[in-house]
Structure 1
Amino acid sequence: MYRETEKQLTFSDDFFLPFGGKLNKNNRWVILADMIPWWKAEEKYSQAFKDSNKGEQAFSIRVALGSLIIKERLGLSDRETVHQITENPYLQYFIGLPSFQEEAPFHHSMMTHFRKRLGSDIINEVNEWIVMEEQKNEKDDDGDDHPTPPASPCPKSEENVNQSDTDAYDTSANKGKLLLDATCAPADIAYPTDLDLLNEAREKLEHIIDVLHEPLKGDKRKPRTYRQRARKDYLAVSKQRKVSGKKLRKAIGKQLDYIKRDLNS
């Protein structure tokens, strides 16, 4: 059985604290609770219950959805989420409790039922609502921070008009946000290994031999490099996921022999 509870507005001042005082309205959980349109989510959540007049009364949408939001935002397990809610009055207000209570509001196993009842569609839609509300608040804050200056009672000269137009252009030229990620690295940088470095050195030596022999083509015989055999020996080891130390040392020795031959030719 489910009964709708989000038709009436709730305020942080109404949350009862047995040890006195009031909740801080600027707390992030109080602000987030005001952002979320709980009644919209409740309309979809109530459809998961076949008959609202039979059976044990289910937890409200604010308890179910609020607990999942707390879990994801704080990166907690189901059990730890319940512990945090039990210890924190702001989290209890966020899930819609009328007052602070020392006992857990529900067993941690209920988190699994909350996920099944809500589903990914409702959670994704709520995330979109939160993002839209945050963007709206950011626009309002930007408008408050940059009020429109009052009109000057004196007419502007041509020089002042040109200067103001230039200032306006400079102000509006740069817009948006630049995101930088220091963890990114070019994709062509590979982790170096002895075998890879030797293979690269051998290929460069073979290229040098080709360039130096080009003017002498037809007059002098080109030195043998055994590049196809060397390439085959390299790929036979480098393509394996796990290579024993003995096989790796043998492959490195072969590449060193090929390099030595190229240097002596």
Structure 2
Amino acid sequence: MLITPKYTPQLGLFHSLGDQLDEKHPLYLLANTINWSVFEDAFKKHYSEKMGKPAKPIRLMVSLLILKYVRNISDENLVEQWSENIYFQYFSGEQNFCADIPCVPTELVAFR
């Protein structure tokens, strides 16, 4: 089932995740260069809004696959590093730091 991303006007008590990062970091720049709506539009037709379990956000899954190939790491290492790396999380569209893994590694296999 396709879910729509939540809009949260107050991202944190003092700063959003993006405010804490170096704006010259390659992943920060790339996150703001990619037109993520192209992926949303292309993939949303494969999801139902009424049936099934709610899916992970499309941007998250696409960004995880991009990071996997750019960093040349396994699915298992990727989800572990994502939970520790604020640049990975910002690239994936997170607004606040999240210490949990974004998905189980097998979900990346299914998304591919």
The TM-score normalised by the length of structure 2 is 0.83
Conserved 8 A contact 1:79-1:108: yes
Structure holding more helix per residue: 1
**3-state SS of the aligned residue for 2:83?**
helix
Q: Distance in 1 between matches of 2:29 and 2:6?
A: 17
CA drift of 1:112 comes to: 0.4
RMSD of equivalent CA atoms? 2.1
Structure 2: runs of 5 or more not aligned: 8-14
Residue number in structure 2 paired with 1:15? 17
Residue number in structure 2 paired with 1:89? 86
Q: How does 1:1-265 map to 2 (within 5 A)?
A: 1-5=1-5, 14-15=16-17, 22-49=20-47, 51-115=48-112
Residue number in structure 2 paired with 1:126? none
The TM-score normalised by the length of structure 1 is 0.37
| Bigger radius of gyration among the two | 1
| Structure 1 ranges of 4+ moved more than 4 A | none
Q: Distance in 2 between matches of 1:37 and 1:5?
A: 16
CA drift of 1:35 comes to: 1.1
Conserved 8 A contact 1:6-1:39: no
Q: Distance in 2 between matches of 1:114 and 1:95?
A: 15
Whichever residue aligns with residue 37 of structure 2, its letter is W
Q: Distance in 2 between matches of 1:4 and 1:52?
A: 9
Q: Distance in 2 between matches of 1:26 and 1:6?
A: 27
Aligned residues: 105
Q: Distance in 1 between matches of 2:6 and 2:110?
A: 20
